[in-house]
Amino acid sequence: MNIRSVYLSERKPVTMAITRITCRELARAVCGNDMSGTKSHVETMLRIVSSLRDKHSIYFNAVLKKVVECKDFTVIAEKVIADDIINWGRIATIYAFAAHMTTKDNQSEMIVLLSDFACSRLASWIETNGGGWTAFDQIFAQPESTESLIWKGLFAKMTFGVLAAVTYGFLRFIR
């Protein structure tokens, strides 16, 4: 066993625990529970899931019409990764569809289904290829607001302007 495989085998339970917590917190948020004090990866996942549900609600509703029971979620999630290509986009899509299926009546069942699926089929990829939940936060970082970008640009231009004026004054002084 090499050092990387030992490290990953020690980290896998942590990733699985975080994966289960993320599933539980996502279901709680979808059902309208207070989400104060959640971890950053949960907030990131909630933001991504919300965006996916908004953009693809027609598709999710069409698939949902074919779903008879909650346990059908696993069949649909398996189809998302049927070609054995797993990435953060597909993981977020699976979480988004689970959120779309979740209601107050089936919340507990969906938490178990999503947690079991994520831990058995996704956690290994999250740890070895995805860089863990910290990488998820970095990849899907909250984009800066337009106002913030404008102020940063203005500040940079002002700084450059002041630096140019000081340099010009200094050059005039030494002549």
What total number of domains does the chain contain?
Answer: 2
Are both 15 and 43 inside the same structural domain?
A: yes
pLDDT of 5: 39
3-state helix, strand, coil in the chain (%, to 5): 80, 0, 20
Are both 92 and 159 inside the same structural domain?
A: no
Distance CA 111, CA 99 (A): 10
In the predicted structure, residue 8 carries a pLDDT above the cut 70 = no
Are both 89 and 160 inside the same structural domain?
A: no
For the segment 130-148, the average pLDDT, to the nearest whole number, is: 75
Are both 40 and 110 inside the same structural domain?
A: yes
pTM of the prediction? 0.68
For the segment 121-138, the average pLDDT, to the nearest whole number, is: 83
Are both 137 and 93 inside the same structural domain?
A: yes
CA angle 81, 87, 93 (to 5 degrees): 65
Which range of residues forms the domain containing residue 62? 3-141
In the predicted structure, residue 117 carries a pLDDT above the cut 70 = yes
Are both 51 and 69 inside the same structural domain?
A: yes
CATH of the domain at 91: 1.10.437.10
Distance CA 79, CA 27 (A): 21
pLDDT for 100-111, tens place per residue? 888 778 878 888
Are both 102 and 57 inside the same structural domain?
A: yes
Are both 136 and 60 inside the same structural domain?
A: yes
Are both 136 and 170 inside the same structural domain?
A: no
Binned at pLDDT 50, 70 and 90, residue 2 comes out as: very low
Are both 66 and 90 inside the same structural domain?
A: yes
Which of 65, 69, 97, 66 is closest to 81 using CA atoms? 97
Are both 123 and 52 inside the same structural domain?
A: yes
pLDDT for 14-59, tens place per residue? 666 777 777 777 776 666 665 555 567 788 888 888 888 889 888 8
pLDDT for 58-100, tens place per residue? 888 888 888 878 778 899 999 999 998 899 999 999 988 888 8
Are both 128 and 159 inside the same structural domain?
A: no
Unique residue bearing structure tokens 């899907």:
140
Share of the chain above pLDDT 70, in %: 69
